[in-house]
Amino acid sequence: MNTFTSTISINKPLAEVYDFLADFNNHQQLMPDNIQEWMSTRDEARFSIQNMAKLALKIEERIHNQLVRIIPAEKPPFDLELKWSLSFNNDHTDILFTINAELSMMMKMLASGPLQKLADHETQSLLNILS
């Protein structure tokens, strides 16, 4: 399993950050420009990555004000899990975004950079939106 992480702190209440992340309709705002054909509900999202693949993801687990765990809703090109972990620290919310991907050696060479960029882009977008 290959792990890609990105952390940020946002000067917002934990509940506000959690409520935003717990609704998949909000996640389109976190995505980079190469995400197309976005369709979502509170629990699922479908989209395509320009010139690459189509993905369907679903929120598998919500732990109130702590965790949002996302897994594929349909068979992806590789096994994948996205996890938003939240904790409140004095006056701000600490966020750890983790992408776990089961990548072959070939896929690792191709996808490691883009997956780390995705993790960083999503956390930075969240910071920009909620700040």
Please report the pLDDT score of residue 76 as a whole number. 85
Spatial separation of the C-alpha atoms in residues 78 and 59, rounded to whole Å: 17
Closest CA to 59 of 87, 86, 22: 22
Closest CA to 31 of 118, 96, 130: 118
Residue 102 clears pLDDT 90, i.e. is over it: yes
List, for residues 47-100, the tens digit of each pLDDT value.
988 777 789 999 999 999 999 999 999 988 889 999 999 999 989 999 999 999
Query: In CATH, which of 3.20.20.140, 3.30.70.360, 1.10.10.10, 3.30.530.20 is domain 2-130?
Result: 3.30.530.20
* Residue 51 backbone zone (phi > 0: left; psi -120 to 50: alpha; other: beta): left
Alpha-carbon torsion (104, 36, 18, 8), positive or negative: positive
Domain boundaries, the chain: 2-130
Closest CA to 84 of 113, 119, 111: 119
Structure tokens at 74: 């349909």
What is the SS3 assignment for 60?
Answer: strand
pTM beyond 0.85, yes or no: yes
Please report the pLDDT score of residue 125 as a whole number. 98
Spatial separation of the C-alpha atoms in residues 80 and 71, rounded to whole Å: 6
